[in-house]
Homo-oligomer: A and B are copies of this chain.
Amino acid sequence: MKSENLAIVLVSGGMDSCVSTALTISDGFEPAFLHMNYGQLTEKRELRAFHEIGDYYAVKERMVVDIMHLSAMGGSCLTDTNIEVPYANLDNIEIPISYVPFRNANILAAAVSWAEIIYAKRIYVGAVEEDSSGYPDCRRSFFDVFEKAISEGTKPETEISIVTPLINLSKREIIEKGMEMKIPFHLTWSCYRKEDIPCGECDSCALRSRGFQQAGVKDPLTP
């Protein structure tokens, strides 16, 4: 709690949060790791990735937050076992069934509460606009408005900004940046459906696989 330069990093356990961690450190901040359990099917595997990435970067402050109400409310294939995770369709222009309504606001609200308590000045979010499958709460315009809500809804002396270093990058560029920064891709987890080996068929696997292909790099998670 004593660091003058704490920044919270939202760490799902995927590649994007791992690259965000490396960028937080290179920006001169000490990362405090925040993971959200909202009842996603692969939570156990994600949590393992969260801690392995945390160990890799020697992260001291870690917090796992349960926002299980998102799962109790249903409405998304990521949290409702009655709705099947569909096969990937990267050309889909509609908001897919994996959209968890207003998920990022729930996550950010918890992050801001923690940030105000531990005096963290920034919240790093690995959101990617292009590859966000059209989720409305993954766009920079949403984060901009949410920053204003932080400014209005916290103590006058509290200043917390939301940093989205990957927001305009493609998966290919994220992978290239990660290679440059030597991030531990082998510790990350992206699949929405399986916890032992990536299913290769969900949106998240498809985006990851296309990214590695375009970057001309082998994904260490694939055989």
Contacts and interface: CB of A to CB of B under 8 A. Distances in A.
Contacts of A65: 69, 72
Q: How would you classify the secondary structure of chain A's contact residues: helix, strand, loop or mixed?
A: helix
Interface string A133-151: 0001101011001101110
A74 B70 CA distance: 23
Number of copies: 2
Nearest to A37: B69
Interface of A: 63, 65-70, 72-75, 95, 99-106, 108-110, 112-114, 116-117, 136-137, 139, 141-142, 145-146, 148-150, 152-156
25 contacts: A63-B69, A63-B72, A67-B69, A69-B110, A73-B113, A99-B155, A100-B113, A101-B117, A102-B109, A102-B113, A102-B153, A102-B154, A104-B153, A105-B108, A105-B150, A106-B106, A136-B154, A136-B155, A136-B156, A137-B154, A142-B152, A142-B153, A145-B148, A145-B149, A146-B149
